C-alpha cells in the first residue's frame, strides 16, 4: 500500500499512450519507426511456486527429464519476440535467497540467466526485469549492488490519497453524497486509526492504508445492498 504497483502501471500506461499518439501521427506502415515503442508486461510471483517450478529442474524419472520453469519459459518468450516492443517482467513477491541469488548473473553486465540444464537465456535490449518487493532484509550485497532502486515509504503517502481516489469514483452518486462521504471520512478515520494503533493489538499487523482500503470496500459492499433493497 505504498504505491509501488501504481507507479509501474502508470509508467507503462503513459508510454503506451505516447506510442498510440505517435502511431496516429505517423501512421502504421511497415517501414515506420517509432521513437516510443509500446510496453507489454508479464507479472510473476516467485513465492507462489518452488524454485524448480520457477527456473526449471529435472524430475525423478530415469533417465531424468527436464521440466521448464515458469520464469524461464516466460523469459524465453520475451527475448525471442520482436524487439520493437518493450517487454517488462514484473517479479512481484518477497525477496528470498532461494530464488534471488540465481538472478545475479542476469543483473550484472552479462545479462544472462544460466539454468541448471546449462541453457543460457540472454536478455535483449528491450527486455527489463522489475522487482516489486516489500524489503531487502535477506538480499545479499551482491544482489543489492546490481540493481537500481526506487524506495516508496508507506508512511509518507499515508491513507488520505486512498480516500481521495475512492471518492473520485463516487461522482455518479451526486455532489452532496460525495461531500458527505468526504466530510465523514476525514472527520472520523484519523481518530479510528489512531485508536487502533494506540489501544488495539492485531493478530496480523496491517498498515493504515490497507485498513482504509478495506474500509472502503466494506462500505461499497454494504452500499450496494442498500441500493438493491
Q: What is the pLDDT of residues 9-18, one digit of tens each?
A: 999 999 999 9
Q: Please give the sequence-ordered ranges of beta strands (E in DSSP) within 12-169, or none if there are none.
A: 39-44, 56-58, 66-68, 86-92, 112-114, 120-122, 127-132
C-alpha cell of residue 77: 518468450
Single pTM value for the model: 0.76
CA distance 146 to 106: 9
69-102 pLDDT, tens digit each: 899 899 999 998 888 889 999 999 888 888 888 8
Whether residue 215 has pLDDT greater than 80: yes
94-150 pLDDT, tens digit each: 888 888 888 888 888 888 888 888 888 898 889 999 999 888 888 888 888 888 888
Domains and CATH numbers, the chain: 4-152 (3.40.50.300), 155-228 (no CATH)
CA distance 89 to 111: 14
190-198 CB contacts, 8 Å cutoff, 24+ apart: 193/159
Amino acid at each position: 500500500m505504498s504505491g509501488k504497483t501504481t507507479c509501474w502501471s502508470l509508467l507503462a500506461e503513459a508510454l503506451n499512450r505516447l506510442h498510440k499518439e505517435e502511431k496516429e501521427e505517423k501512421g502504421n506502415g511497415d517501414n515506420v519507426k517509432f521513437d516510443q515503442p509500446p510496453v507489454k508486461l508479464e507479472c510473476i510471483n516467485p513465492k507462489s511456486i518452488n524454485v524448480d517450478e520457477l527456473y526449471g529442474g529435472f524430475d525423478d524419472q530415469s533417465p531424468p527429464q527436464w521440466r521448464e520453469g515458469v520464469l524461464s519459459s516466460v523469459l524465453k518468450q520475451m527475448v525471442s519476440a520482436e524487439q520493437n516492443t518493450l517487454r517488462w517482467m514484473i517479479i512481484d513477491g518477497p525477496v528470498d535467497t532461494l530464488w534471488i541469488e540465481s538472478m545475479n548473473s542476469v543483473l550484472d553486465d552479462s545479462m544472462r540467466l544460466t539454468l541448471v540444464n546449462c541453457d543460457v537465456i540472454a536478455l535483449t535490449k528491450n527486455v527489463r526485469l522489475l522487482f516489486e518487493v516489500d524489503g531487502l532484509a535477506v538480499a545479499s550485497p551482491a544482489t543489492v549492488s546490481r540493481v537500481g532502486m526506487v524506495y516508496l515509504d508507506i508512511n509518507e503517502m499515508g491513507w488520505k490519497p486512498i480516500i481521495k481516489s475512492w471518492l473520485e469514483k463516487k461522482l455518479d452518486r451526486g455532489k452532496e453524497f460525495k461531500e458527505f462521504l468526504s466530510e465523514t471520512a476525514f472527520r472520523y478515520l484519523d481518530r479510528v486509526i489512531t485508536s487502533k494503533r494506540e489501544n488495539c493489538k492485531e493478530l496480523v499487523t496491517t498498515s493504515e492504508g490497507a485498513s482504509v482500503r478495506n474500509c472502503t470496500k466494506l462500505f461499497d459492499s454494504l452500499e450496494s445492498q442498500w441500493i438493491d433493497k
